[in-house]
């Protein structure tokens, strides 16, 4: 009887221990902090006001963010003004009125949304700016270091267009939209390089408005004036193919170096292979999108922090791509991101 009792006790103790062990192991498998993270982001509402969703970089970002949102249970709504600044203002006003947890914004220029962003912050909405900054600094900016971009591109031209072997010292800057952040800051970087290389001669500084046909027309006219042109730098690979076409039509592909930047889409690599472009400083939009996705998580996780109380900046990667490395991750296709 006693033995039986002992056995029973031992058995019960073993069972209890097993139970405790099970509870313990269940606690171990829950990743530290995950529950709080999920709790923080789940059910939150994020609104993105882009310049236009038709651009390759925008498509990459939104693909990355949608995947992130679906995985962690927050919603991402895209309010696309499709390049129309007035529609963009209405989209921003609408977004502020809806009081989402976070607004992501790609500014068409530094002024248009400047006051609206202040209003959003005052209303307690956190704001993440992507790639194109406003004059108003908000919680976070994820995107290019545009001054560095200007320095890199003009620096590349300085390599080709200075020194005794250069065909000439004449270079062209095909701008985008002159009030856009990219344009304003790139210009600062360009001026630094021009100052350091006084022999470089900026013979034309015209905006192509991100349109390839305009870039082609300007380049064609400039080439007539300066047949010994050495280099052209631009602001978006999809526009500078027009400059490339004008240079190719003049049969000066070996003489004129064309440098630009881009989201790293496969179409840019094709343009390098076709000889329309020489160098693209690739800011890899999918990686930029991933960095922004982590910023979204950070901003959603801390609802206790006041909007605009902490301001952070994240500059994304920039890779120099020419015909030797126009492959692999430097040339993404939308289907690679899914």
Partner 1 sequence: MPGSGKSDDRRLGFKASQEVVVVAISVMLFVVFSVTLNNFLSQGNIIAILKNVSILGTLAVGMGFIVVGRGIDLTMVAVMVVGVAFSIWISSWGIDFTLAVICGAILVAAIGLFTGVMVAIAEVPPIFATLAIASSVYGSGRIVFASDVLYAPPDIAWLKFVGNGSVLGIPMSVVIFGAVAALMGLFLRKTRFGRLVYATGDNPNAARTTGLPTRPIIVTQYVISALIAFTAGIIMTGLVTGIDTRLYNSSLIYDVLLVVVLGGIGLSGGQGGVRNVIAGTILVGILTNGMTILNFSYTSQNLIKSVILLGALAIDAIINPRDEQTSQSGDI
By the criterion CB under 8 A, which residues form the site for partner 1? Answer: 52, 54-56, 59, 82-84, 178, 203-207, 209-213, 215-218, 220-225, 238, 241-242, 245, 248-249, 267, 270, 274, 276, 334
Q: How far is the CB of 201 from partner 1 (least distance, A)?
A: 12
Q: List the alpha helices (DSSP H) in the chain.
A: 2-29, 34-41, 56-72, 85-98, 114-122, 146-161, 181-196, 212-225, 237-249, 266-273, 285-301, 334-337
Q: Which is nearer to partner 1, 69 or 245 (CB)?
A: 245
Q: How far is the CB of 304 from partner 1 (least distance, A)?
A: 39
- Residue 180 C-beta-side C-alpha neighbours within 13 Å: 23
Burial class (CB in 10 A: 0-12, 13-18, 19+), 67: middle
β-pairing, 140-143 vs 102-105, is: unpaired
Q: Which is nearer to partner 1, 52 or 137 (CB)?
A: 52
Q: Which is nearer to partner 1, 30 or 254 (CB)?
A: 254
Task: Tell me if 133 sits within 8 A of 104, measured CB to CB.
Answer: no
Q: Which is nearer to partner 1, 179 or 301 (CB)?
A: 179
Q: Which is nearer to partner 1, 207 or 264 (CB)?
A: 207
Q: Which is nearer to partner 1, 311 or 333 (CB)?
A: 333
Coil, helix or strand at residue 242 = helix
Measured distance CA(161)–CA(171) in Å, rounded: 8
Task: Tell me if 218 sits within 8 A of 174, measured CB to CB.
Answer: yes
Walk across the sheet containing 75-78 and list its strands.
75-78, 45-49, 102-105, 126-130, 140-143, 312-315
């Amino acid at each position: 009887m006693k033995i039986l009792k002992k056995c029973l006790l031992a058995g019960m103790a073993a069972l209890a221990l097993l139970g405790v062990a099970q509870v313990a192991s269940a606690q171990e498998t829950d990743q530290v902090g995950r529950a709080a993270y999920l709790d923080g982001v789940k059910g939150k509402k994020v609104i993105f006001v882009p310049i236009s969703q038709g651009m390759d970089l925008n498509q990459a970002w939104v693909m990355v963010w949608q995947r992130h949102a679906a995985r962690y249970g927050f919603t991402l709504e895209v309010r696309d003004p499709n390049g129309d600044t007035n529609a963009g203002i209405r989209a921003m006003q609408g977004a502020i009125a809806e009081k989402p947890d976070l607004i992501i914004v790609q500014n068409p220029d530094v002024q248009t949304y400047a006051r609206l962003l202040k209003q959003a912050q005052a209303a307690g909405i956190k704001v993440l700016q992507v790639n194109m900054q406003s004059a108003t600094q908000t919680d976070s900016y994820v995107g290019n270091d545009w001054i560095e971009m200007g320095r890199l591109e003009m620096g590349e031209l300085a390599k080709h267009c200075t020194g005794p072997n250069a065909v000439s010292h004449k270079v062209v800057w095909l701008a985008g939209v002159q009030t856009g952040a990219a344009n304003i800051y790139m210009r600062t970087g360009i001026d630094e390089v021009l100052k350091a290389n006084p022999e470089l001669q900026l013979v034309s500084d015209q905006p192509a408005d991100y349109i390839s046909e305009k870039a082609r027309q300007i380049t064609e006219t400039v080439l007539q004036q300066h047949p010994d042109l050495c280099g052209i730098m631009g602001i978006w690979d999809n526009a500078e193919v027009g400059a490339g076409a004008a240079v190719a039509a003049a049969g000066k592909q070996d003489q004129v170096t064309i440098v630009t930047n881009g989201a790293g889409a496969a179409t840019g690599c094709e343009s390098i292979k076709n000889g329309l472009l020489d160098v693209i400083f690739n800011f890899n939009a999918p990686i930029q999108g991933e960095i922004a996705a982590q910023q979204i998580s950070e901003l959603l996780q801390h609802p206790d922090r006041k909007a605009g109380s902490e301001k952070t900046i994240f500059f994304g990667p920039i890779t120099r791509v020419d015909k030797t490395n126009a492959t692999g991750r430097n040339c993404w296709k939308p289907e690679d991101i899914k």
